[in-house]
Amino acid sequence: MIISVTAISDQNVLAQIKQAIGGLSWRDGRETAGAVARKVKQNEQAITHEGAGKHLRDQLTPLISENVVVKAAARPRRISAPMISRTADGGHYGAHVDNAMMGAANARIRSDISFTLFLSDPAEYEGGELVIHAAGLTQSIKGRAGELILYPSTSIHEVRPVTSGARIVSVGWIESMIRDPAQREMLFDLENLRANLRQKLPHGSPELLTVDKTVSNLIRMWGQP
């Protein structure tokens, strides 16, 4: 399941983020890649453990983790701290699969869902499409600033070369409390149905109570606390 989410709609917030990006310090992106991915990765990664990078990371984290669509679609158990990447001057990230386990020590999570939050407008750079290969289908995405893409970490994906300008995104991973992607999709469908019914039916109606009961019982059946 590949989902587009509006994570940042406030233009003032986007303007603040773009201003903050100008104060970031960068390092070679290969330093954060696994042994295989390192061979096909050519970008830069912001330093986010201190200073301006930490401040921006802390600003982005709740915009992702508290988003209602992210919660409904991903059922997060844990979310990695978002990284910030810059790709320019022919940089790219060749076809690869994310590591099954990301992070270290207590921050180590299973990568069920990957996310890319676009921070630069598509008009600001050429190329740089996020390409996801799944089930014989190839999807090419060049999101608007503030758009978050959720996609399976199990899929082969890549970032096409940026031929002009700079592509700035925030990336990370989600470990879901619902491990099976088909089960997550069913729960997401039910959440959308519930949201629709709430607009049409009174609170406490038998139909809404039945959907509430079904969602809760499926989470009990499938969930990992």
pLDDT at residue 177 in the model: 97
pTM over 0.85: yes
Distances (CA, A) of 164 to 126, 130, 155: 5, 16, 27
Identify which of 16, 7, 12 has the alpha carbon closest to the alpha carbon of residue 66.
7
* 97-154 residue pLDDT tens: 999 999 888 889 999 999 999 999 999 999 999 999 987 789 999 999 999 999 999 9
Rounded distance between C-alpha atoms, residue 87 and residue 119, angstroms: 12
pLDDT at residue 40 in the model: 93
Q: In this model, does residue 32 exceed pLDDT 80? A: no
H/E element, 60 = helix 51-65
Q: What is the mean pLDDT of residues 27-38?
A: 79
Rounded to the nearest 5 percent, the helix, strand and coil shares of the chain are 35, 35, 30
Residues in a beta bridge with 85:
45, 169
* 148-168 residue pLDDT tens: 999 999 999 999 999 999 999
Average pLDDT of the chain, as a whole number? 95
Question: How sure is the predictor about 87, in pLDDT bands with cuts at 50, 70 and 90?
Answer: very high
Rounded distance between C-alpha atoms, residue 131 and residue 129, angstroms: 6
